[in-house]
Structures are given as C-alpha cells and as structure tokens.
Structure 1
C-alpha cells in the first residue's frame, strides 16, 4: 500500500468522515473503493467504444436533417 497526500474540500472531507463512521470503515477504504469503481466504469466505457467501432457514423447536421425529413423534428 502507498501513502499519499490528497486535499479534499472541507464539505467533502466531512461527508467522507461521516460516511466512514456510519459504515465502520476508513476514509482511505472509501476513497480506494470509489477509485476502483470509477476505473471499472472507465473500462466498461472503453469496451463499449470498441464494441461500436464498426458502426456507421453520422455528423450532427446530417442527423438533424434526417429527423426533419422523417417528420420527427
């Protein structure tokens, strides 16, 4: 485990301390878990991008024109 210094806004620090006490956990454990979840979401997002790489693309202006021509705009 590595020790680092992190600066929190006062209200975030207070919320973290309260949540840690309520969960019988430490602030460090809460921060580690939040970072793990955030990185996991990033992996999911990157996979979604890879999964859709082969899909056709359309620029915004063309998309708006197609909505208008279909009577949906």
Structure 2
C-alpha cells in the first residue's frame, strides 16, 4: 500500500531553497523527498532524545555548585 501524502506549503530562505534545488538535481531526488527525509530524521532524533530523558528520570540531580566543587576536587578546574 502506498503511503498517504498530504500537501503543505512551507516558506524557505532563498539560499536554503537554492541548496535544495541543487541537491535535488545532483541526487536525482525531489525537493519533497529531501524535505521529508530531513523532517523524518529530525523527528527520529527527537524521539531518541526523549527516550534517553525517560531512561534517566530517576537519576539524582546535581546542582551547578555541586558540579563545580566536584570538578575542583578532581583537579579538572
């Protein structure tokens, strides 16, 4: 089954649009395909970040002052 497609209008900076057009020509992919891939990658990265946050939710918090003291005691600053 073919993926459902939804049309949207986006406004790009002129230089970004030019770069997309050039990449589209050089890769034989449509601008829509390139934008879809970039958005998909960004959303996937966000999902990975959220999963990491969930994994670390029970870790103890460390204040900035405590962190600086730890760096000093370790001789790193």
4+ residue runs of structure 1 moved beyond 3 angstroms?
none
Cα RMSD over matched residues?
1.0
Residue correspondence of structure 1 range 21-32 to structure 2 within 5 A: 21-32=25-36
Structure 1: segments with no counterpart, 5+ residues: none
The number of residue pairs the alignment matches comes to 73
Residue correspondence of structure 1 range 1-73 to structure 2 within 5 A: 1-73=5-77
Report deviation, 1:43: 0.4
Partner SS for 1:13: helix
Q: Normalising to structure 2: TM-score of the pair?
A: 0.87
Partner SS for 2:59: coil
